[in-house]
Amino acid sequence: MNSSRLDGIDAGRGLAALSVFVYHFGAGAALVRATGWRGFQYLSWPGANLAVPVFFVISGFCIHYGALARRPAPFEARRFYAHRFFRIYPPWFVAIAVSIIALLANGETPDTRQIVTHLTLTNGFFNDYRLNFALWSVSVEAFLYLLYPLWLAVRQRHGLWRA
């Protein structure tokens, strides 16, 4: 095991992502239709109700664990934001482009506001999920990344319980 990674955390994140995929893909409903056994409908439950919060918790843990692992080097907000941007934004941009192409191929035209709120990761602030509803969690996570350096500064100055 690589000392900078925790295999159990990676496995949990992978299971959460797989569960969300199963939910969005509709595997449970498809199996119910194919077999007639209603028990398959429960395959979607974890992806619809648990996986995203679990993924947020795991991501928060990983961000903080990474910041603590760099000690005694001081936390640099600029470096943190640059790393987050280059890790999230390129695949986000591709997802937005694919979503726009899919809408256009379906005869729908996204409006400028949809495109702007998604490209700026502010769709969560404007409750604008029409371009691709499945991408809502990324804008929420990006907002939490904006808050993290502030939280860390409060924690370092006043302690964990006050933070």
- Say if residue 148's pLDDT is above 70: yes
Mean pLDDT of 55-72: 82
Provide the terminal-to-terminal Cα distance of the chain, rounded to the nearest Å.
32
Instruction: Tell me how far apart the alpha carbons of residues 5 and 3 are, in angstroms, rounded to a whole number.
Output: 6
Mean pLDDT of 65-70: 79
What pLDDT, in 10s, does the model give residues 72-111? Answer: 777 888 989 999 999 999 999 999 999 999 999 999 999 9
pLDDT number for residue 24: 84
pLDDT number for residue 102: 93
What pLDDT, in 10s, does the model give residues 7-51? Answer: 888 888 889 989 988 888 888 899 999 999 999 989 888 988 899
Q: How confident is the model at residue 3 (pLDDT cuts 50, 70, 90)?
A: low
Instruction: Tell me how far apart the alpha carbons of residues 27 and 161 are, in angstroms, rounded to a whole number.
Output: 43
